[in-house]
Chains A and B, each alone.
Chain A
Amino acid sequence: MKERIVGQVKRVNGPVIILKDVNDAMMMEMVRIGEQQLVGEVVKLYDGQATVQVYEDATGICPGDNVYGSGMSLSVELGPGLIGTIYDGIQRPLEKLMGASGAFISRGLNFPAVDHEKLWAFVPTVEVGAIVHCGMKFGTVVETDRVLHVLMIPPSIAEATVAQIASEGAYTVDDIIVTVVLPNGKEEKLTMLQRWPIRIPRPVAERLALKQPLITGLRVIDTLFPLAKGGTVAIPGGFGTGKTMTQHSIAQWCDADIIVYIGCGERGNEMTDVLREFPLLVDPRTGQSLMERTILIANTSNMPVSAREASIYTGITMAEYYRDQGFHVAIMADSTSRWAEALRELSGRMEEMPAEEGFPAYLPTRIAQFYERAGFMKCLSGIEGSVSIIGAVSPPGGDFSEPVTQHTKRFVRCFWGLDRSLASSRHYPAISWLDSYSEYLGDVRSWWNEHSDGAWQLHRLEIMELLQKEVRLQQIVKLVGPDALPDSQNFILEVCALFKTAFLQQNAFDLVDRFCSVEKQVKMLSVILDYYQKGSEAIAKGVPMVKIRRLKVVQEMARMRLTIGNDDMEAIDKLQLRLERSIDQLGGIYEN
């Protein structure tokens, strides 16, 4: 019998199972439980007993059921065929599950993550006799039109000599492609496939400083609170404030090479939406379908809670694998709160001592470990790649003082706080310009200044100052009414209001507005500041503010995000000219 029995079930309490008669189970070993062969993972070992987390619904498991060891940690398959696939939290392809059990997901199903029959066109890049190191490229396959998959020597082989390599041709992921000889004379046969335990970060040569922004196409983010490639950001917000929409938008339009989208304990329909929509959407930069760069992980809210806990690690491990090939990967986790709650539920069932609000005391450590897996890296092969993490947080009652938001804030360097009142007045994205911040401003400054003729830094500062002034002026208005303010100050309110509708708001459903190029952002901001400048001068000359705000061209400005396309920068220049002319005309009338 080749199956190894590691113990028997002693107690079942939902997704947590206690085993007895345990002697050779390993920590973090993947196991299969009972005759249904449910997937589980050993999380504790003590006195001949073990605690196992089950990744499927435990109904029907009995005391006395056998538990079978797999001899390896819970790990993922890495190789060509991941892109464009949708997985559950433990990397089972959902399409395959559907083939086996229909529209509803049954238990105990087991499928490899990538297709083992499919032939890939392999091109070798090393020759027999070459010395190879871990992480080094030994060949490529075209995974999708946009992803040239790099096959690498696994991290476990420090140095070896190539004894044999397959010639250019079609192979499956199981075919032996390379045989290497280790310094001790042992031979190792490598295929296109690697396995990696999900809870262990893949090694890199060096962490590098961040310097490039991750351009998202969302103005409020790119211009005001930019994220750097390799950076981390949290998006906290109450229900319906726009976390998912923001993440969908970024997944669609950001300038990363690969997207890993993790639906962690969220809605089934949202994943269906991505699945139906992404293949139809075209990347504005490459003209290819967005699905050609996307991996989806769907562990919806009604799927087993422990697999939800694993899904985050499954996702980040795949992201690291593509980073090691030299790609810039962006990973969206929606929502990390559901992951933290899964930790809480499992911890509660294991009868651990709770810390704040029932969360285990190791919550902050886990959050930190996850976000630390982001970064701009020099990979083992010497090539550069990055993983950026964009994590949604769903605070109970929308209250940011709760533990998950607070601890997340400690470990991320960028914060896009969603505001309930903005969302209910349909100001989308409801990212608050007062609560949000980015610590990457310094890192991306030179990139941005280069791409805006040096304007970005100054303009950003200027508009942020106006927004701060607005808060103070609003307080006065609330006490004594707007008439008490002189026109020069009322005009600040006016410009800020315009900035909000014309620039900060962005409609994800509008074909023109949903993505905004860097050039368009720079120009739009400069027109708005020009309006402030010229308008203030005119008011100083005695032009009443109402006259200025009634100008037709001002109405046009309010709509420029919708009416002017990303490739029509001239139109904004023309608008700016007309704006200046109109205000000058008004000024002319009042000067005399």
Chain B
Amino acid sequence: MRTNKESLLVQTDRHLLSGREYRGASRIDGPLVYMRNTHAVGYGELVEVTSPDGTRRAGQVLDTSDDAVVVQVFEGTDGLTLPGTGMRFMGEPLTLPVSEQMLGRVMNGLGKSRDGSAIPHGEAERDVNGEPINPTAREYPRDFIQTGISVIDGMTTLIQGQKLPIFSGNGLDHNQLAAQIARQAKVRGNSGDFCIVFAAMGIKYDVARFFTDSFEETGVLDNVALFLSLADDPSIERTITPKTALTLAEHLAFDKGKQVLVIMTDMTNYCESLREIGTMRGEIPSRKGYPGYLYSNLAEIYERSGKISGRSGSITQLPILSMPNDDISHPVPDLTGYITEGQIVFDRSMQARGIYPPINCLPSLSRLMKDGIGEGMTRADHPHLSNQLFASYSHVKDVQNLASVIGEEELTTLDHQYLDFGSFFEKKFVNQGFDEDRSIEQTLDLGWEALSKLPSEELQRLTDEEIAEHYGK
């Protein structure tokens, strides 16, 4: 057994040894490199990997023991050889130099410049893994963000500091919607110091291009930090991209007091990269081959949002994920829904009917809207109105089902009124233009206009006073 003094010596040795280069890997498997005979290396340490041609890549220690160290290399292992691979263990975890000057820049998943230009020196170095926010230090988010999109503002209100993902599918208009939200989002009566952090994981170049163009058109590009890890970049880089992006977001929000909107797309690609590593390491998978720790891992990303009491900034997350096969019970949307504060769910059949945004509000939900709407925030009738719209619209679905069995002719007058209401709701309330920016009052008035298609005694979620004030006006 080692005495304390000896242990202190070991500690000092380790400090001296960090940064020393080892050569020759014992095994390379996908993004993982195994190395033997190193000094004692700490779990989670940053590793600088040198390839035979001298280029450097970043990696992180995934497993460390007396005999071997397992390192995941974020920039991929292409071109590495067993004898030609060098490694330097840096004695500390992966950090990101953060600064306000990163706004307006395009970086890779590790925060290095993508266009070769120099990234300005950081104002601080931050561990990209972050630390959990103490629940006692949080401030409960309450400020309504007006996105100008009726179905969101009216039915699944976005709150500053919320994490609200978009559950979409291939070929649906989620990028348009995210861009529109980024363009139009505002907290009324408070312009604030607003900026965007954009993290792209495994998306195609055109999609990234679509976003930069859209930011450029509206002149906000200088206020956007882009972390791009595109489809042809090493898939492992995606596993660090959201963390890098959120590290900057935390700096901007909690040190600089900015209102940060973080758009992350596509979370499904991120999860697939995690699955790849898990499989490679022979871990016991849970559902659909995804690792058992996917929930905790996603939580470490999504929970890096919110507000901290006593600080003026906030992080609002808008993750986008595509549901494989449009299946909402697939592990990625499923686990996401268990962590985030609601979800916005896209519906392929609505897009097919030409409705933009194709949001089905029934499975959609904003858990934070309860404290952000109503008198003094949006309008006094908003809570009951949205309840009523939900209830009535969900009845429309029942009537539609019935109609498909017995035929529309057999329906009662009331049923027909419901169908009229449903069609107005989808075509006039939900449907709107890419550039159409509706105020919350316009949205709520449209909601009342939809309800006026129904007889007033059907409106049981509203009070008599509300009906008297708004119904049929």
Contact = CB atoms under 8 A, between A and B. Distances in A.
B14 A305 contact: no
Contact of B292 (A95, A106, A358): A358
B7 interface: yes
B299 A301 contact: yes
Interface in B1-59: 1-4, 7, 10-11, 14, 40-45
A interface bracket (residues with beta carbon within 8 Å of B): 35 or more
Contact of A276 (B133, B140, B296, B334): B140
Q: Which of B10, B295, B339, B394 has the most CB of A within 10 A?
A: B295
Contact of A358 (B286, B343, B457, B460): B286
Interface residues of B, number: 81
Given A60-B44, A301-B295, A341-B292, A269 B362 contact: no
A305 B133 contact: no
Contacts of B136: 86, 94-95, 98, 272, 275
Nearest to A60: B42
Interface of B (DSSP majority class): mixed
A358 B64 contact: no
Interface string B401-428: 1100110001010000000000000000
A396 B331 contact: yes
Nearest to B68: A11
Interface string A335-348: 00010010011001
A12 B65 contact: yes
A10 interface: yes
Contacts of A86: 135-136
B9 to A, nearest CB: 11
B394 A300 contact: no
Nearest to A550: B457
A424 interface: yes
Contacts of A63: 40-41, 64-66
A302 B132 contact: yes
Interface in A475-521: 477-483, 501, 509
Contacts of A20: 66
B292 A425 contact: no
B260 interface: no
Contact of A479 (B394, B395, B405): B405
Q: Which of A97, A265, A399, A426 has the most CB of B within 10 A?
A: A426
B341 A269 contact: yes
A265 B3 CA distance: 38
A399 B329 contact: yes
A95 B134 CA distance: 9
Interface in A57-71: 57-66
B213 interface: no
Contacts of B64: 11-12, 62-63
Interface in A269-312: 269, 271-273, 275-276, 298, 300-303, 305
A12 B286 CA distance: 22
A239 B338 contact: yes
Interface stretch (A1-9, A137-145, A567-575): A1-9
A397 B42 contact: no
Nearest to A95: B136
B169 interface: no
B121 interface: no
B306 A268 contact: yes
Contacts of A276: 140
Contact of A103 (B7, B133, B141, B339): B133
A298 B303 CA distance: 14
A269 B391 contact: no
Contacts of B363: 424
Contacts of A358: 284-286, 292
B405 A509 contact: no
A401 interface: no
Interface in B309-346: 311, 329-331, 334-335, 337-339, 341-343
Interface of A: 1, 3, 5, 8, 10-14, 18, 20-21, 35, 57-66, 86, 94-95, 97-98, 101-106, 238-240, 263, 265, 267-269, 271-273, 275-276, 298, 300-303, 305, 338, 341, 344-345, 348, 354, 357-358, 394, 396-399, 424-426, 477-483, 501, 509, 550, 555, 558-559
Given A57-B44, A59-B44, A104-B133, 15 more contacts: A1-B4, A8-B2, A64-B66, A103-B311, A104-B134, A105-B131, A239-B338, A300-B135, A341-B296, A345-B293, A345-B296, A348-B292, A398-B329, A478-B401, A555-B460
Closest 3 CB pairs of A and B: A301-B299, A397-B329, A11-B65
